Chains A and B, each alone.
Chain A
Amino acid sequence: MNHFGMPATAAELFLLGAICVILLVDVFLSDRNRWVSYALSLLAIAGAAFMTISHPATQRLSVFDGMFIGDPMGDVLKLFTYGTVAASFLYSRDYLARRGLFKGEYFILGLVALLGIMVLIAAGNLLTVYLGLELLSLALYALVAFDRDSGIAAESAMKYFVLGAISSGALLYGFSIVYGVTGTLQLDELAVAVREVGPNNMGLVFALAFIIVGIAFKFGAVPFHMWIPDIYHGAPTPVTLFIGAAPKVASFILAIRVLAEGMDAMLPTWQGMLIALSVLSMVLGNVVAIAQTNLKRMLAYSTISHVGFILLGVLAGTTDGYRAAMYYTMVYVIMSVGSFGVILALSREGFEADQLDDYKGLARKSPWFAAVMLMLMFSLAGVPPFVGFWAKLAVIGAVLNVDLWWLAAVAVVLSVVGAFYYLRVVKLMYFDEPADTVGVQAGGTVRTVLSLNGLAVLALGIFPSVLIDVCARVLP
């Protein structure tokens, strides 16, 4: 074991250094030269990616007395998160610049959130888990309030902060009881200790309830979903895009590290809790989304329903299920980034493009972007040949594999309910006549990234083995 631990943590350390440098550089930049921070942030992500690739974890290794671990799954998720955060930055630049929000803080806070996710991914100890989670959450609270002249953003941030703090408290309380019962915070030791104490130990079950509350909140699963619609709606669209993407990876890894690695012996207990959360999320998300007229809010409810599907994979409690959940998370993030990317691409001076009616007749004004949105919507609805179908297939297969066939039936029927509101967007774009004739004014970067994003949804759907094989390799 390498107690020094430098190679394993190279990416995190590099990113931390880069954040400090950008923070200092940004202070001395005039608004005209603000692009330097933007470029440096992208470079920092590229550097971190290089570090991760050049120090791959071929097997599970742990440093700093087990506080910090590296494994192939973590590497893949880190690389995926770099891509997501970079895409968020690329999408956001035009929008921010147009609204006078093009400030260094956005990128710095984004990088801090990224660092939080990386720490969480590499957590081998409940304390590290909490550290990463708080690093991420605090950065996100600030990001939501980032447009300080917007009242609704400030309100959302406040709401997010209060609810987030409560849920973090619940999580921490759960961790402390776990420590009280088992005497350890180390995840691998915890797994052994839980078996010794017995999974039906009252204290542990009590702790588990609090931990599940914390996890469900971070995911946004019903009944801990209240913050999602308001924050998605209230935050500036680039921030919504950011929150809707990378943090989902964090929620997934949080569930995996704590539940699947630390408390796997308590599977029957947390499986029951997650089934309830999952079914409620799918029902409420899909049904309430139908009533929305604001696209950001509709996508917020759609997120809630997709969280239900991710939880399906987790609650299966098998490697098969974790793999499916990981695949679903990655696929969902790709689709979510794309859908908010479309909103960003269509927005212009004084026009947010966040009402459903803003999409009327888009196929006339911009056939290509309408086609991209069409692919994203059908993919979110889980219609083949788009990638969203394979994600659904994977989780439903995992659930059937543990003989929860009724749950699979409920899930597929609810996905039909969900198809309705995605189809409505397609209907608005293709079947209705445009209300105005103003074309799309997106810049070249946004157009390129969005096109690639849309094509990825199609290509990964036709050749699903690309992404499935990656998940299969890291979770054999």
Chain B
Amino acid sequence: MLALGDRAIAAGRWIALLTTAITFGISTLLYVNFDSTTAQMQFVEEHTWISFLSAMYSLGVDGISMPLIILTAFVTPLVVIAGWTVIEKRPAQYYAAFLILEGLMIGVFASLDALLFYVMWEAMLIPMFIIIGIWGGPRRVYATMKFFLYTFLGSVLMLVSLIYMYLQTCDGGQCSYAIADFQRLPLGMNEQLFIFISFMAAFAVKVPMWPVHTWLPDAHVEAPTGGSVILAAIMLKMGGYGFLRFALPITPDASSKLDWLVISLSLIAVVYIGFVAIVQKDMKKLIAYSSVAHMGFVTLGAFLVFQLLSVNGDVRGAAMGIDGAMVQMISHGLVSGAMFFCVGVLYDRVHSREISAYGGVVNKMPIFAAFAVLFAMANAGVPATSGFVGEFLVIIASFRADFWFAFLAAITLILGAAYTLWLVKRVIFGPVANEHVAALTDLNGREFIVLGLLALAVLALGLWPAPLLDVMRPTVENLVQQITASKL
């Protein structure tokens, strides 16, 4: 792709599309051949990578990582299609960056070796840094630097913990970076607290949780459409995935001890950021803040577990919280990605992201308006869309824990409806606001395919979430068991 350069743009585009489409094809095989009766890692592939550090190149999936991999493989081809004619500046490098990024993102979800995970996790920053920096908006340099340094700072602290645990696993000269070994590692309370805090530093920035979310609005606003979509749809999920894969099973006691912290931060994110989103004047910024609020549900669902278990030993409720967190991640990946695509569609035509620059878009773009309203509904968590399932599961789980958690969490349904529907009202409905809007043309074929596929996925997941819940069940149950077993 890079070698081809900008001389053969058309060929480059097709290569990128075919590669990502084939990747998606292969990833669906994961689902088809997945054995949803076991919590074991499946499709394991293992080679010695660095024998001296006994680091392995080992990949595998379970019920938590498999849906996220499919999500990644599903969204990336859409990004390629969406950028088809829009990206005029150095398109070959643009597609190459996304292909590298996709490989690394799948690697993050599939790594069974902590060192491999870390390498992918960090390496991912490089293409994203470039994507925002080259193809981004006017303040792109500031945004991309902030994005890189924020996430880099969080992750290096996690690295110290990973090395520490690696040294702890040493038994008769044989150490291990395998995540499974880390999960079995007996750790004292103080060790767990330090490790947990370093995990928090890495994952909370990525999720992002309040108050370390400030990089996200900048990065989202300045990134090109494709970059925003990948950021919102996949990268944020890595934080949630990290909590489920690392923080909870490796440091269950510290997580349990500090769950109040995470839960309160999540609730602040859900409520406070919801209010912040209402007053935004920039469409991308509004969606970015809504992402922070929605990801608050993910962390809330994941950490409710401890409240549920300690209050009444409610294992089913705990599993429900984690289920909700997972569904919310997948759903948010689809919905927020779709919302950014919608903004991208408008931006390509008018070159403005200001809400006030629009109004009455429905008169000129009826098909687009239909899609936009659907995704807005999904974002607000209206039943029959995927947004509903995740939020509903988390709220039910929080009812089982504490009424006030549920009350605060449920506020988001109102807030979410308020900011998204108000956005829709101002942008889509009403009379035609100005001559730019009057000159709009409706979706072209490419855009229709992208939004149509996403709409199908959102509705399918909303109406019938069982296929997703089924594949996750054994893994989630196993996870709850791991969390319950104290390491002290």
Contact between B122 and A412 (Cβ–Cβ < 8 Å)?
Answer: no
Contact between A419 and B149 (Cβ–Cβ < 8 Å)?
Answer: yes
From B37-45, B161-169, B350-358, give the one contacting chain A.
B161-169
Q: A245 on the interface (CB 8 Å rule)? A: no
Q: B21 on the interface (CB 8 Å rule)? A: no
Contact between B119 and A389 (Cβ–Cβ < 8 Å)?
Answer: yes
Contacts of B185 in A (CB 8 A): none
Q: Could you tell me the distance between the alpha carbons of A316 and B163 in the complex, rounded to whole angstroms?
A: 15
Contact between A384 and B123 (Cβ–Cβ < 8 Å)?
Answer: yes
Contact between A419 and B152 (Cβ–Cβ < 8 Å)?
Answer: yes
Contacts of B212 in A (CB 8 A): none
Main secondary structure of the interface of A (DSSP, over half): helix
Q: B26 on the interface (CB 8 Å rule)? A: no
Q: A427-B141, A464-B50 known; A412 and B134 CB under 8 Å?
A: no
Contact between A419 and B148 (Cβ–Cβ < 8 Å)?
Answer: yes
Within 8 A of B (CB), among A375-398: 378, 383-385, 389, 393, 396-397
Pick the residue among B51, B53, B148, B156 that contacts A423 (CB under 8 A): B148
Q: Could you tell me the distance between the alpha carbons of A420 and B142 in the complex, rounded to whole angstroms?
A: 12
**Count, chain B residues at interface, CB 8 A:** 34
Q: B159 on the interface (CB 8 Å rule)? A: yes
Nearest CB on A from B124, distance (A): 10
Contact between B167 and A400 (Cβ–Cβ < 8 Å)?
Answer: yes
Closest chain A residue to B157 by CB distance?
A412
Contact between B160 and A396 (Cβ–Cβ < 8 Å)?
Answer: yes
Nearest CB on B from A424, distance (A): 8
Q: Could you give, for residues 226-266 of chain B, a 1 whenever the CB lies within 8 Å of some chain A CB and a 0 otherwise?
A: 00000000000000000000000000000000000000000
Contacts of B144 in A (CB 8 A): 427, 431
Q: Could you tell me the distance between the alpha carbons of A451 and B85 in the complex, rounded to whole angstroms?
A: 33
Pick the residue among B51, B123, B157 that contacts A383 (CB under 8 A): B123
Contacts of A416 in B (CB 8 A): 149, 152-153, 156
Nearest CB on A from B234, distance (A): 19
Q: A465 on the interface (CB 8 Å rule)? A: yes
Contact between B163 and A393 (Cβ–Cβ < 8 Å)?
Answer: yes
Closest chain A residue to B150 by CB distance?
A416
Contact between B125 and A400 (Cβ–Cβ < 8 Å)?
Answer: no
Contact between A383 and B145 (Cβ–Cβ < 8 Å)?
Answer: no
Pick the residue among A378, A405, A427 that contacts B126 (CB under 8 A): A378
Contact between B163 and A423 (Cβ–Cβ < 8 Å)?
Answer: no
Pick the residue among A378, A408, A415, A468 that contacts B53 (CB under 8 A): A468
Contacts of A232 in B (CB 8 A): none
Q: Could you give, for residues 35-73 of chain B, a 1 whenever the CB lies within 8 Å of some chain A CB and a 0 otherwise?
A: 000000000000001111100000000000000000000
Contacts of A389 in B (CB 8 A): 119, 122
Q: Could you tell me the distance between the alpha carbons of A378 and B125 in the complex, rounded to whole angstroms?
A: 11
Binding site for B on A (CB under 8 A): 367, 371, 378, 383-385, 389, 393, 396-397, 400-401, 405, 408-409, 412-413, 415-416, 419-420, 423, 426-427, 430-431, 464-465, 468-469, 472
Among all A-B residue pairs, the 5 with the closest Cβ atoms: A412-B156, A384-B119, A465-B50, A431-B133, A416-B153
